Chains A and B, each alone.
Chain A
Amino acid sequence: MKDFKLVEHNLIPLSLFALNISVVHLLYLLFIDNILSFTTLLVFSSTIVLVAGVIRKKKVLMIPGALVYTIVLLFSL
């Protein structure tokens, strides 16, 4: 039950929150022709990991996905 609460009530909202921003960020990077940059690669990877995490409901995907994306976002500012 504790695990269910952690995933359903905390990690999924957190992942969806990060996903909203990462998808917008990814589309922006693709638009400015930054397809092959390291940032795009990281944003793309963390977006995929977050999507997989939400679908599979895996902590091991959602936590690193959100963490990596947050770091990438902070460095992009």
Chain B
Amino acid sequence: MTPGNTAKKDNKLLWRIHHWAGLYCGIVIAVLSLTGALAVFIPEIDLFIQKQYYSVSSTPSRTFNIGKSVAQAEKQYPGMSGLIIDLPEKPGQVAGLNFFVGGDKGLGLQRYYFFVDAGKDEIVGTRNQQNSLANYLRQMHVRLYDGYWGRQLVGLGGIALLVVAITGLLIYSDFMKRQPYPKLRKGRGLRILMADWHKIFGISALAFNIVIAITGAWLGLQPKLMNWFNIKTPNNFKPEIVISPEEDKKTTVHWDNLLAVAKKEFPDLVPNGIKASDDGSSTISFYGNIAGQAYERNANVLVISKNGLKPVFKYDVRTAPFSHKFYFIQEALHFGDFGGLGLKILYAVLGLTSGFLSISGFVVYLYRMDKKKRNRFSPLKTTFIYCMVITLVLIALALVSMFIGYSKAALAAAILINGTLVIFILYSIYTFIRKKLQPAHSK
């Protein structure tokens, strides 16, 4: 075999991998692309909803006041546990009290979320956090709204995107031949036009899609990989149990003093959340970011004891080893929340390219199939119907999630995703067996 023939055979194999990986995983990539482009703006969308729908805001104040509101919530819900206080990122934004009530041994827990005017120290509203649009966008992008193996499917989608991106690069020159970038071959039909756009978008956003694919695959498969390879979360800290859980719950703290101690012990920390212990460790944990650092949100931690307000644990990503920094950079690189609104817009635009590539690749595939066997609908019509059905399903799930409830939407999504997967696998087995059983002359 001549070297030319070997190269041709290799390219054919690469093209087949690109083709089949794109065809089978294109739908997941397209859904993740659309939800990802929206998920980038979750904080902005949530803030907009808070202002417009719930009409909540904080009165300007030099200090952060939350003590009375926490006490009021504790009085109203004596059995509350797992209190997390969300701190406002900018002046005028509300703080949030996030906690659970009831449930024996973790069963039947009810989650509560209160908005707090951190200037006046007043509870100004409430909402079901699980049914919010922000939670829908996050859950749909992170686990396709399927709690069982949705996250792993997303991780596999990331691997598929990596495979199509790398094979796409390797076959790029073979497909471009004498065609200069970014020239479109006009007047040669929609298949050629779509193929040209596919190549232009694919090569223009290649590095971005590779980064998204690698980080997405890691984030999706993270729980399994961490379990298999015994990887520990770098900032994880388990404080010593010093009192009974009941005593711990009853221990009150002066929030102003606590914030002052946190500021003194970790001056660069911009806290986003405060967690009060109720397991007997008698601690308050601060989670937050350091301005200008491109790491996962809330990667920096400061733990202070409730008694004596002494620091117990401090985790500063800046001083952590390279492996920790590498661990914490994945989510930031995936969601692009380290460069302001400008970077988020760029991420959304580049993020949509993988969705466009899935659709344009599908159109090209349908045109090729249409040549062999004429279908009832034109390739463009078929693609449009598929896109509309998927969009309507996503909108329907969002509406169910927001107005009926998260659990109902999650159940519907699980049935839909797992049902589609089962039908798809059974159909593939059926067509495979049918082809094998077909007499040779009729093939």
Contact of A28 among B169, B176, B338 (CB under 8 A): B338
Interface pair B342/A13, CB less than 8 Å apart = no
Kindly provide the distance from the CB of A52 to the nearest chain B CB, expressed in whole angstroms.
15
Interface pair A30/B169, CB less than 8 Å apart = no
Interface pair B173/A5, CB less than 8 Å apart = yes
A67 at interface by CB-CB < 8 Å: no
Interface pair B294/A13, CB less than 8 Å apart = no
Q: Name the residue of chain A whose CB is nearest to the CB of B200.
A: A16
Interface pair A13/B172, CB less than 8 Å apart = yes
Q: Which of B134-184 contact A (CB under 8 A)?
A: 169, 172-173, 176, 178-181
Q: Which of A35-59 contact B (CB under 8 A)?
A: 54, 57
Interface pair A30/B342, CB less than 8 Å apart = yes
How many residue pairs, one in A and one in B, have C-beta atoms under 8 Å apart? 58
| B208 surroundings in chain A (CB, below 8 A) | 20, 24
Kindly provide the distance from the CB of A5 to the nearest chain B CB, expressed in whole angstroms.
7
Kindly provide the distance from the CB of B200 to the nearest chain A CB, expressed in whole angstroms.
10
B291 at interface by CB-CB < 8 Å: yes
Contact of B203 among A16, A21, A30 (CB under 8 A): A16
Interface pair B203/A13, CB less than 8 Å apart = yes
A4 at interface by CB-CB < 8 Å: yes
Interface pair B343/A27, CB less than 8 Å apart = yes
A75 at interface by CB-CB < 8 Å: no
Q: Name the residue of chain A whose CB is nearest to the CB of B291.
A: A32
Interface pair A17/B338, CB less than 8 Å apart = no
B340 at interface by CB-CB < 8 Å: yes
Contact of B176 among A9, A18, A23, A54 (CB under 8 A): A9
| A8 surroundings in chain B (CB, below 8 A) | 173, 176, 179-181
Q: Name the residue of chain A whose CB is nearest to the CB of B333.
A: A24
Contact of A17 among B179, B180, B206 (CB under 8 A): B206
Kindly provide the distance from the CB of A34 to the nearest chain B CB, expressed in whole angstroms.
8
Q: Which of B173, B178, B206, B207 gathers most chain A CB within 10 Å?
A: B207
Interface pair B340/A13, CB less than 8 Å apart = no
| A23 surroundings in chain B (CB, below 8 A) | 346
B205 at interface by CB-CB < 8 Å: yes
| A21 surroundings in chain B (CB, below 8 A) | 207
Known: A8-B180, A9-B176, A13-B169. A28 touches B207 (CB 8 A): no
Kindly provide the distance from the CB of B167 to the nearest chain A CB, expressed in whole angstroms.
14
| A17 surroundings in chain B (CB, below 8 A) | 206-207
| B336 surroundings in chain A (CB, below 8 A) | 24
Q: Name the residue of chain B whose CB is nearest to the CB of A23.
A: B346
Kindly provide the distance from the CB of A54 to the nearest chain B CB, expressed in whole angstroms.
8
| B206 surroundings in chain A (CB, below 8 A) | 13, 16-17, 20
B91 at interface by CB-CB < 8 Å: no
B407 at interface by CB-CB < 8 Å: no
Query: Digit string of B194-233 for contact with A (CB within 8 Å is 1, else 0)?
Result: 0000000001111110000000000000000000000000
CA distance A24 to B173 in the complex (A): 26
Interface pair B176/A24, CB less than 8 Å apart = no
Kindly provide the distance from the CB of A7 to the nearest chain B CB, expressed in whole angstroms.
9
CA distance A12 to B206 in the complex (A): 12
Kindly provide the distance from the CB of B329 to the nearest chain A CB, expressed in whole angstroms.
10
Q: Name the residue of chain A whose CB is nearest to the CB of B181.
A: A12
| A19 surroundings in chain B (CB, below 8 A) | 207
Contact of A24 among B178, B292, B339 (CB under 8 A): B339
Interface pair B340/A31, CB less than 8 Å apart = yes
Known: A12-B203, A13-B169, A20-B207. A28 touches B339 (CB 8 A): yes
Q: Name the residue of chain A whose CB is nearest to the CB of B343.
A: A27
| A16 surroundings in chain B (CB, below 8 A) | 203-204, 206-207
CA distance A16 to B199 in the complex (A): 13
Interface pair A31/B176, CB less than 8 Å apart = no
Q: List 14 A-B contacts (CB under 8 A).
A: A4-B180, A8-B176, A13-B172, A16-B207, A17-B206, A18-B207, A20-B207, A20-B208, A24-B343, A27-B340, A27-B342, A28-B338, A30-B339, A30-B342
Among all A-B residue pairs, the 9 with the closest Cβ atoms: A20-B207, A9-B173, A32-B292, A28-B339, A31-B340, A17-B207, A27-B343, A31-B339, A27-B339
Q: A8-B176, A13-B203 are in contact. List 17 more A-B contacts (CB 8 A).
A: A5-B173, A8-B180, A8-B181, A9-B176, A10-B173, A13-B169, A13-B206, A16-B203, A16-B206, A20-B205, A20-B206, A23-B346, A24-B208, A27-B339, A30-B342, A32-B291, A54-B181
